[in-house]
Structure 1
Amino acid sequence: MLKRTMIVILSILLGVLLLTGAGAAFLHTPAFGRLPRGERQQRIERSPNYRDGEFRNCQPTTLMTSGQGRVRAMLGFLFRKKPERLRPETPIQVVKSDLRSLDPSQELLVWFGHSSYLIQTGGKRLLVDPVFCRAAPLPLLNRPFAGTDVYTPDDMPDIDYLVITHDHWDHLDYRTVLRLKARIGRVICPLGVGEHFEYWGFDPQRIVELDWDEEALLEEEFSIRCLPARHFSGRGLRANRTLWASFLVESPVQRFFIGGDGGYGDHFARIGRCFPGIELAILENGQYNADWRYIHTLPGQLGRAAEELGAKCVLTVHHSKYALARHAWDEPLRNARRVAEEESLCVLMPQIGQILPIEPRQTETTIKSL
């Protein structure tokens, strides 16, 4: 009996060790990237936004207001009964445009669902947070809605600037950036995120890594400024070792605000005061929940954020491709229509893949159907 008990205990211990080893090996696969080190870490430690071993938001920010913590909240999302209409019942209708034939002198934008989009302005192409392969560590997580995965890295034209707002999996896709690597001029990213790109074989000379309130002159009359967002970061078990950000793009033609992910905060008003004349603000609208209300923008805050930025027009993103929260899949689209109608705000609502002209000084309210 004792021998049998010992065999059972040893078998359990062996199983735990094997699982632990497999988990550790999985977390060290290339897709997880690499935490900052060396000179980059020294630069991070000199940042006024880095304290006690991690980056901090400008305002005190509790990530999970439910008190559950990140892991428990994720497990609850995965295994609780799914609410109705979390995903569309039929494939989403998209437009498959020939992006390689685009005239680079045209001012335009193409949204690919969620937070991935292509901007052409001032004769340059910017690709923001492209996710065309996998938005999670495991293929069964964050499955795209039917019909939304028609674009691949091979469909993209040559890119002058790859802009990454933060290193979460639904914004930084290892397979996508590797397949685009040879056709990317430079990578623009927040402080610390460049470590992933160096680890993945990108030339450090092609990486422009910025702290909040730092600016890079990319070309004559073409610059990008890194600005705050109210969010968090991390691809593995350790959070906030890299920075998250929004960006202000100054082209010779117009001024864009790239909001990235994040909750409402007083940074919107500060940005609007410091940088008046924003032609287009691209703002998060989706995957929100009261349990994480400080790190994602709630529906009632969208119009206020746009007003405080002083944006002439708004495009909302972070919706229509993945179910990362528990609201109905099309609720963000209804939110955008409501803001346009009730607050008289110019809101662009293109179909996924539609080529959308973005000429300067659009002022009329524009609503298009997904």
Structure 2
Amino acid sequence: MFKNKRGRKMGILLIITLAAAIAAAVIVSLPQFGRLPRGERLGRIQRSPNYRDGQFRNLEASPMMTGDKSRIRGMLEFLFRDKEGLRPETEIPAIKTDLHALAPDSDVAVWFGHSSYLLQLDGRRILVDPVFRAGAPYAFLNKPFKGADAYRPEQMPDVDYLVITHDHWDHLDYRTVTELKGRIGKVICPLGVGEHFEYWGFDPAKIVELDWNEQAAPGDSFTVHCLPSRHFSGRGLKSNRSLWASFLLQTPSRQVYIGGDGGYGRHFAEIGRRFPGIDLAVLENGQYNEAWKYIHTMPGQLAQAAHDLGAKHIMTVHHSKFALAKHRWDEPLKNAEALAADSTLHVLRPVIGEVVALPDTSPAPPPDAEPA
């Protein structure tokens, strides 16, 4: 009798385990999960100096979780954390701007909450990490704050370049990019991320895919440098099969640094030395936690990163739309306020949808000649 009962229990457990495995396989095969690199792209990845033992690696040792907690335990604590203060009680302020009416010759930045923003630089439009539908596999898992969902793909103008810093859900949204597909000139992304776009029907000839310290000139007088960041990647069951990156955009009159996601590291100072005179640096500020301090910038490191880059102006992102960490939703806004108190830094703090004119970079006219 005992053996029969035990056998039945083992059989039930086996069926449950098998059903769960099948369900997981079905879920991750849905198109929004993208696809792991294959073919020539995989060959290029395997030849990368940043890819070792089957994964991309950071320049510095960067454990995902610190302390003695396992990743699963940390995730459970995160899911069942105290929810007080994680989301605003009132609607986030936002300005509804007609983006199609922006003067094409104006150099501006428009932030849409979290890490999504539009840049106009020397007549080119660059859309960065747009997430206008869902920042998770399913929208109900992490809804945007009220007011922070003011923009949708159809409100975006045609863009010359779509820049994706890595393939996490809160930076690469399947529905957003596929709805924008017909209005994107070229996609600029780190090595491996192009596999998702090809899988989603994008023309491979329009995908510019770069490894760290590679550069491309996808347009006349426009150069993009792919640079390191300290983070990780992955949309499904496997991590770090595609690269994560920051980017430096160079136009005839400007240098703009797109920081992406990542922890503080020596790469900031190296980038600052390599590209002196950065006009604007867009830096991560939010969704941090002491438990993952190596892969997200902590508040006390934000000013140092800004100084290391030597940027003339700073704008912080990765906040004010989703609750992805344990800190209060408005803590990053206070971090930006504290950063702005540093008289050596010039911090832009736009409201969602606000058009921010980028400072003039033309040299000052020479003084009038002294009378003889």
Give the TM-score band, short-chain normalised.
Answer: over 0.9
Alignment-derived partner of residue 272 in structure 2: 272
Alignment-derived partner of residue 55 in structure 2: 54
Deviation at 1:252, TM superposition (A): 1.6
Amino acid at match of 1:59: E
Deviation at 1:103, TM superposition (A): 1.9
The answer to which of 352-361 and 42-51 deviates more is: 352-361
SS of the residue corresponding to residue 140 of structure 1 reads helix
The answer to which of 17-26 and 115-124 deviates more is: 17-26
User: What CA distance in whole angstroms lies between the structure 2 residues aligned with 1:177 and 1:143?
Assistant: 18
Normalised by the size of structure 2, how large is the TM-score?
Answer: 0.93
Alignment-derived partner of residue 315 in structure 2: 315
User: What CA distance in whole angstroms lies between the structure 2 residues aligned with 1:77 and 1:358?
Assistant: 38
Q: In the TM superposition, what are the counterparts of 1:1-370 in structure 2 within 5 Å?
A: 9-82=10-83, 84-361=84-361
Deviation per residue, 1:46-69 (Å, 9 max, x gap):
111111111111111111113434
Asked whether the equivalents of residues 255 and 279 of structure 1 are also in contact (C-alpha less than 8 Å), the reply is yes
Q: What residue ranges of structure 1 are gaps of 5+ in the alignment?
A: 363-370
Deviation at 1:72, TM superposition (A): 2.9
User: What CA distance in whole angstroms lies between the structure 1 residues aligned with 2:82 and 2:340?
Assistant: 33
Asked whether the equivalents of residues 130 and 172 of structure 2 are also in contact (C-alpha less than 8 Å), the reply is yes
Normalised by the size of structure 1, how large is the TM-score?
Answer: 0.94
Amino acid at match of 1:60: A
Deviation at 1:361, TM superposition (A): 4.2
Amino acid at match of 1:17: L
RMSD: 1.6
The answer to which of 12-21 and 245-254 deviates more is: 12-21
Asked whether the equivalents of residues 253 and 361 of structure 2 are also in contact (C-alpha less than 8 Å), the reply is no
Q: Identity, % of aligned pairs?
A: 60
SS of the residue corresponding to residue 120 of structure 2 reads strand
Amino acid at match of 1:41: L
Alignment-derived partner of residue 365 in structure 2: none
Alignment-derived partner of residue 366 in structure 2: none
User: What CA distance in whole angstroms lies between the structure 2 residues aligned with 1:132 and 1:323?
Assistant: 15
Amino acid at match of 1:18: A
Asked whether the equivalents of residues 144 and 322 of structure 2 are also in contact (C-alpha less than 8 Å), the reply is yes
Alignment-derived partner of residue 367 in structure 1: none
User: What CA distance in whole angstroms lies between the structure 2 residues aligned with 1:195 and 1:111?
Assistant: 27
Q: What residue ranges of structure 2 are gaps of 5+ in the alignment?
A: 363-372
Deviation at 1:10, TM superposition (A): 3.9
- Name which one, 1 or 2, has greater alpha-carbon Rg: 2
User: What CA distance in whole angstroms lies between the structure 1 residues aligned with 2:72 and 2:143?
Assistant: 19
User: What CA distance in whole angstroms lies between the structure 1 residues aligned with 2:69 and 2:244?
Assistant: 23
User: What CA distance in whole angstroms lies between the structure 1 residues aligned with 2:317 and 2:23?
Assistant: 36
How many pairs align?
361
Asked whether the equivalents of residues 285 and 299 of structure 2 are also in contact (C-alpha less than 8 Å), the reply is yes
Deviation at 1:70, TM superposition (A): 3.4
User: What CA distance in whole angstroms lies between the structure 1 residues aligned with 2:259 and 2:180?
Assistant: 23
User: What CA distance in whole angstroms lies between the structure 1 residues aligned with 2:89 and 2:135?
Assistant: 21
SS of the residue corresponding to residue 269 of structure 2 reads helix
Deviation at 1:343, TM superposition (A): 4.7
